[in-house]
Amino acid sequence: MLSTVLQYIEEEHACPHCKQALTLCHAPPVHVGDGLGWGSEYLFICLNDECSLFANGWDHIANQYGHVGSYRHMQIPNSKEHYNMMVVGREAFTGSAVDVESLKRRNDDYQRRQEAIAALDHCVERGQLEPVLTVLLDESIKIDDRKKAAQLLVPLNDIACIEPIRNHTFRDGHLEQEVNLAINALLAAHFLKECPYCTELIKARANVCKHCQRQLND
Ligand SMILES: [Zn+2]
Ligand SMILES: [Zn+2]
């Protein structure tokens, strides 16, 4: 669905009455004319209040039908179908415009996640921690992909992963456990430990933390 509407964003439609670009809008649930659906969740609509169709429509409808209303020009995306749609108020459809910027942002986020997931296959050989952290720390990504990322922490052998992981709250207890085991293995491999008081990384055999100067028992 997101991909469909993103295609529509790229489409350019101009109003034949005022030549202005049409705005991509969410379709109203029902076809006002015949009670059927539009066959599309989205419509391109001329929201220009100066549009001759809209500006002259009030008089036309008052004279013709004796009630208040006008027309807005409308085109169905990905099709040649277009209509002059009757509207009863000035504000008709103005609130239904698709938020293109937020849609693009959502799509960019989606692409970024997909790229990170795909990069997991090569990140160990390339020494890339970034995609592993992107996938591991994104709660909206499938748990299987995140577990796959967790399993790469030890082979990657990069202690830079510890700080961002410690700053993250995992909703999945199993994943958190896996990640903790990986961090323990990394610390051991680097002869390091986390200070129990200030959480800074220090030498495994230190008796005093060089960061907070606290005495360590072990
Ligand atoms: Zn127009
Ligand atoms: Zn300390």
Query: CA 56, 57, 62, 65 torsion: positive or negative?
Result: positive
Ligand of minimum distance to the alpha carbon of 53: 1
| Per-residue pLDDT, 4 | 78
Domain parsing of the chain, residue ranges: 2-96, 100-203
Distance between Cα 16 and ligand 1 center (Å): 7
Ligand of minimum distance to the alpha carbon of 206: 2
Cα dihedral 72, 75, 80, 83 in deg (nearest 10):
-30
Inter-residue contact 186 to 161 (CB < 8 Å): yes
Ligand of minimum distance to the alpha carbon of 85: 1
Query: Which of the four pLDDT bands, split at 50, 70 and 90, describes residue 172?
Result: very high
pTM above 0.75, yes or no: no
Q: Which residue has the higher pLDDT, 38 or 213?
A: 213
| Per-residue pLDDT, 48 | 95
